[in-house]
Chain A
Amino acid sequence: MCSKKDEMKKKFRVVGTRPIRPDGIEKVTGQALYGADLHAPNMLVGKMLRINEPHAIIKSINISKAQKLPGVKAIITFQDFMEVSTNKTNDILENCLANKKVLYDGHAVAAVAAINSEIAKKALDLIDIELEMLPFVVDVDTAMQKGSPVVQLGRKHENVSDDFSDNVTSFCSFGHGILEDGYKNAAKVIERSFKTPSVHQGYIEPHACLASMTADGRSDLWCCTQGQYNVRAICADIMGIEESKLRVTASEIGGGFGGKTTVFIEPIALALSLKAGHPVKIVMTREEVFKATGPTVSSSIDIKMGMSKLGIITAAHAVIRYEGGAFPNETYELGAQSAFAAYDLKAVKSEGYNVLTNRPAQAAYRAPGAPQAIFAVESAVDELCEQLNLDPLETRLKNAAKKGTKASYGPTFDEIGLIATLESAKKHPHYAAPLAQNQGRGISCGFWFNFGGNTCVSLNINFDGTVGIIEGNPDIGGSRASISQMAAEELGIPLERIRTVIADTNSLGHNDVTDGSRVTFSVGLATIKAAKAAKKEMCKRVAKLWKIHEDAVIWKDGYVLPAGPNAGDQEPLSLKEIAAMSAQTGGPIAGHHEVNAEGAGVSFGVHLVDVEVDPETGQTKILRYTVFQDAGKAVHPSYVEGQMQGGSVQGIGWALNEEYIYDSSGKLQNSGFLDYRIPVASDLPMIEPVILEIPNPGHPYGVRGVGETSIVPPLAAICNAVSRATNIRFTELPLSPPKVLSAILGKE
């Protein structure tokens, strides 16, 4: 029998090669249409009025002057919306447009549609708002304390202790074993507290949409999103219409990283369009993106960890406090679950809290919740290694989770690639390279769950033997290429004969958001199954033609042929030949597959980094960076490398520079790319990717999601490197030059 393992080792023809992406030419010539690139006849410009106060009661909104301004076609406030069905949708709507209270600096209270942006801006100035200021809180630890200003009442889950303020909405804990026993067996136990700032996804394309909605509810929405179906579900609920009435088309998307998995302006544009009777376009400014879309959570984390003389972690405990702005979210659960995922531990406990503050509602950001928690854990592991004089890589190998390990979040791991990844880092020349003065080497493991989810794919065999694939997930980084590759592989035809398009919501069944590193895995899986269905149909047709039983024909490399000598000696028929006979043999040939894909398979990565810290300025320079990650099977290795490099650099930014800075009046101080500094080309060296391929048993080609894990290790890897270079243990990010310099001066 040909086992599953053998199939995984099979030779691929197209999968694993590096073809030019099919949407490439449009994107290098400026023809590709992104969110802000569409114009409609008779279109109005929509703008939002935002309040620059962190916390206030809205006493009144007077729009009468603004309404009289010639050229203004519609003005809306929260009162223009009807009640929605769930708490979740209501939170989304209230985040788009404030209801009774302004909850953070940048919260919108009204929106205007006018014939041009000049008039729209003037109209905003004419809206009178009466506010009653309230005390506010932006820091996670302060917000937890009793007596702190409360952002929203009534959001506390039943299991949260009354010792905390009402800002603490939720609590969770995971783990097994008895911590105290573990600490007793340790040669060294440390307790440390860590802080990470909130950072923004920083996609270069601001949110943009173009909406038109008529009185009978029929509506069209064009927007840059990671998931058009999710946008449809939320907007239909908010607008009180059936989903079928709203068609959402995803534009090309200029980056998302999790930040474009929800809505900020789309329902507003629809409501303005309905009221004005014109299409309405809203494009956010960069300042709006920073102030009113979702950054990631900021954190405050305590770790207690014990290690034996030989480097075995004997017990580990994490208390994770995440602040995700003015609305509840579940990121704390992901943090608490992923904190210790890389290790095989006898006694482990992780506890998580979610805390409300007067900041914008957080949104997902690449492996949401994992980088913060793992930063704290990996920093503690590194410090213990240093104190016990142990090699940090060997020590991680000794403790690494493997097949059969009971994960700290519950289940027992199947095949996972962490040990292989660590071994590959150990063998790499980077690990043995010499270091000079003021230089340090850091290492960190990383982990992410990876998702599957709801997926539909339709695959049509055209009469001329070309193939059209329809899928429903925006192409955020080359997925049209990888999906076409998997179809070409399965069908045995040249890649050039396949065109993959991304459907609007009314052309294909539901697809989950492009998140959780799910697309190459789930859409690939559905594409392969759709191709198999089409192949089956083609086999059936040929069998009829040859007057033999269906089982007597087989598919091989793009041809149908007799299964064996008994079946006959007919000449094999190619896909192209069979396609040409479609009409005569029963009509068009297609395959489709619908699934809620499971079995995505967790992902691990290891990063190695060398830094040099300038003792005069506190500036950290990245000298060398190597990323080791298990991709299952890299369908298009260039784009897998791209995910590893891009995620690493986002993590580098998080470690060294990026942070939301609030002043003492609760206002965001750095809502532009000048002061919110993301890494630029001159900050960085080349990022060397090392792809490991340990097939994922849950996918026919062994594919594993690769998009998110790479943002997890950089935080601790860099912090460990800087700590080793300076001989000072840092526990708070970002490691900006002034912070590092003052620590160096403090030591002297």
Chain B
Amino acid sequence: MNKIRVGVSVNNDKIEFLCSPEDTVLDVLRDNLRLTGTKEGCGTGDCGACSIILDDKLVCSCLVLAGEVEGSEISTIEGMAIDGKLHPLQQNFLKHAALQCGICTPGILIAAKALLERNPDPTETEVRYWLAGNLCRCTGYDKIIRAVMDAAAEMRS
């Protein structure tokens, strides 16, 4: 089998991996690098559980081929807390009970972080539309939206 050698930075660590041409970034993160915090809910770009940030862009890692990310910078949920200190979004998700089962949480946190980096003061509607690609079946979104709004307010102050 023809494996491809790829060098990337994941959460600021330089790493190399070998992958098959059909492997997605999600496959590599989960199976090769054992970074299982990024979840697979569908594998077809419809649920957002696999959200990562790839060179400053929010993407579904299940839709990106691993062989094509040479030289890029990837951030995943595992890199969100810095030196053991939780990001304000993570803190607010806990405070607001914005997770029940928690399977959607890594993807939603990554997506919300990408939003707040672009728009530090989003309206409720903006948050709802930004997160429309991230499915959560447990919460009905109410507490998630509140947690994101509160985290945004906290980060602004």
Residues of A within 8 A of B (CB): 18, 20-21, 23-25, 27-34, 36-37, 39, 118, 201-206, 252-257, 283, 285-286, 476-478, 636, 638-639, 641-642, 645-650, 672-674, 678-682, 684, 686-687
Contact = CB atoms under 8 A, between A and B. Distances in A.
Interface of B: 1, 20, 22, 30-31, 34-44, 46-47, 49, 76-78, 80-81, 86, 90, 93-97, 99-106, 109, 125, 127-129, 131-146
A723 B104 CA distance: 34
21 contacts: A25-B94, A28-B99, A28-B109, A30-B38, A30-B78, A203-B101, A206-B41, A255-B137, A286-B42, A286-B43, A647-B140, A672-B42, A672-B44, A673-B41, A678-B135, A679-B140, A680-B133, A681-B129, A681-B136, A684-B140, A686-B142
Main secondary structure of the interface of B (DSSP, over half): loop
Contacts of A680: 131-135, 141
A35 B135 CA distance: 18
A672 B30 CA distance: 22
Given A28-B86, A642-B143, A682-B128, A205 B39 contact: yes
Closest 6 CB pairs of A and B: A30-B37, A254-B103, A649-B140, A27-B102, A638-B97, A645-B140
Contacts of A118: 1, 20, 22
A20 B97 CA distance: 8
A718 B134 CA distance: 24
A645 B139 contact: yes
B132 A681 contact: yes
B100 A476 contact: yes
Contacts of B125: 682
A491 B2 CA distance: 62
A627 B109 CA distance: 27
A673 B42 contact: yes
Nearest to A686: B142
A604 to B, nearest CB: 20
Contact of A255 (B22, B37, B80, B101): B101
Contacts of B36: 30, 33-34, 36-37
B109 A203 contact: no
A673 B138 contact: no
B78 A29 contact: yes
Given A253-B101, A642-B138, A29 B94 contact: no
Contacts of A27: 99, 102, 105
Contact of A681 (B47, B94, B97, B134): B134
Q: Interface centre among A18, A286, A645, A680, by most B CB within 10 Å?
A: A680
B100 A477 contact: yes
B138 A28 contact: no
A642 B139 contact: yes
Contacts of B97: 18, 21, 478, 636, 638-639, 641-642
A645 B142 contact: yes
Nearest to A643: B100
A648 B143 CA distance: 14
Nearest to B99: A27
A681 B20 contact: no
Contacts of B77: 29-30
Given A37-B36, A681-B127, A20 B78 contact: no
Given A205-B101, A681-B134, A672 B37 contact: no
Given A20-B94, A642-B138, A686-B142, 12 more contacts: A30-B36, A31-B37, A205-B103, A206-B41, A252-B101, A254-B102, A255-B103, A646-B138, A646-B139, A647-B140, A682-B131, A684-B140
Given A205-B103, A285-B43, A29 B135 contact: no
A674 B135 CA distance: 11
B37 A681 contact: no
